[in-house]
Structure 1
């Protein structure tokens, strides 16, 4: 059985790559905290859906899980390297951290945070 971090990021990548904002939002808890590229921390599925609706179609994500952990049977999380790209040569490399919670529907993202990686670091 794979770790929840791998499971959630596999579904997240599939939804992101196919530009499915509703599927993206469903990966999050109703009260999730979300820190994407913008300066504001967003809260809740509707805000997450709006964020992903604004992402241009055609963007893709390459994901490598760096570390995964569990706390009991209801909480998990970890860190990943993600490189976002598109067919026009745009690219952004980030570190992604997630806190996951188990509910009746499986594992969902409770907290999402990306931090851009500076190429000179």
Structure 2
């Protein structure tokens, strides 16, 4: 397995858990994928830490899902991986919203977690 394959596998493992928590409308499950000091920037003002992440996803509509595609990965350090992806957030009552997402994952005692999350749209 190459470093790129390993980095993509690390990202997919964390992002698949993030994706499943969103689909289940389980804000705490989503937040469990973030470090205690994670900087989180969704489409609303930023927060720091899992509580802010949980609060953000708690107000998202039930039935929202996300499909993502990894675009780029970089190993920034032995315990740090960067991912750039597109994310299509689908809703039951409105059009899908395509966003761009940058994440930085850090290996912690609890495993790989998101330390930085930055979403943007290009419209």
Give the TM-score normalised by structure 1. 0.90
SS in 1 for 2:102: strand
Which runs of 5 or more residues in structure 1 are unaligned? none
Does structure 1 residue 57 correspond to structure 2 residue 62? yes
How many pairs are equivalent? 117
In terms of fraction of residues, the more helix-rich structure is 2
Unpaired stretches in structure 2, ≥5 consecutive residues: 1-5
Confirm whether residue 24 of structure 1 aligns to residue 19 of structure 2.
Answer: no
Tell me how far 1:71 sits from its aligned partner: 2.4
Structure 2 length-normalised TM: 0.89
Give the 3-state SS of the residue equivalent to 1:11 in structure 2. Answer: helix
Q: Which runs of 4+ in 1 moved over 3 A?
A: none
Aligned-CA RMSD value: 1.2
Q: Which residue of 2 aligns with 1:98?
A: 103
